[in-house]
């Protein structure tokens, strides 16, 4: 059961990042448009590094297995994805626009 829950995590994160930056893409501009107060800090390189780290960390539950540490990583990473999903959903609701990443957030991250 543990591996059934941990295995899809890296794929879910990769699918979400593809929606944000590749197809349909546009997340960086959407974020800058809706957060002009921090727009200068929203750079492609910064988001690339954050997402690469997140992808690498998403394999930790699989590497650690069904141990206390593995479960802790799985719960922590699942919490981060849930918060990210809420970020996209709330952001779309506030701006009344599509937030790139919203579809995978709703249909992959939350379930």
Domain edges within the chain:
2-109
Other Cβ atoms within 10 Å of 20 Cβ, number: 25
| pLDDT score at 111 | 86
DSSP classification of residue 96: T
pLDDT digits (tens, 9 = 90+) for 57-96: 999 999 999 999 999 999 999 999 999 999 999 999 999 9
For 1-111, where are the alpha helices, taking DSSP H only? Answer: 2-6, 8-21, 27-34, 44-57, 60-64, 68-95, 102-104
Chain centroid to CA 101: 8
Contact present, 102 and 24 (Cβ < 8 Å):
no
pLDDT digits (tens, 9 = 90+) for 14-72: 999 999 999 999 999 999 999 999 999 999 999 999 999 999 999 999 999 999 999 99
Torsion angle, alpha carbons of 58, 64, 69, 72, to 10: 30
Other Cβ atoms within 10 Å of 82 Cβ, number: 13
Q: Please state whether 26 falls in left (phi above 0), alpha (psi between -120 and 50) or beta.
A: left
């Amino acid at each position: 059961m543990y591996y059934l829950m941990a295995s899809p995590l890296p794929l879910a994160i990769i699918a979400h990042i593809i929606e944000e930056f590749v197809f349909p893409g546009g997340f960086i501009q959407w974020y800058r448009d809706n957060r002009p107060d921090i727009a200068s800090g929203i750079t492609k390189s910064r988001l690339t590094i954050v997402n690469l780290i997140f992808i690498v960390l998403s394999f930790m539950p699989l590497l650690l297995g069904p141990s206390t540490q593995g479960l802790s990583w799985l719960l922590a990473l699942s919490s981060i994805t849930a918060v990210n999903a809420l970020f996209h959903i709330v952001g779309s609701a506030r701006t009344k626009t599509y937030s790139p990443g919203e579809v995978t957030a709703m249909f992959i991250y939350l379930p």
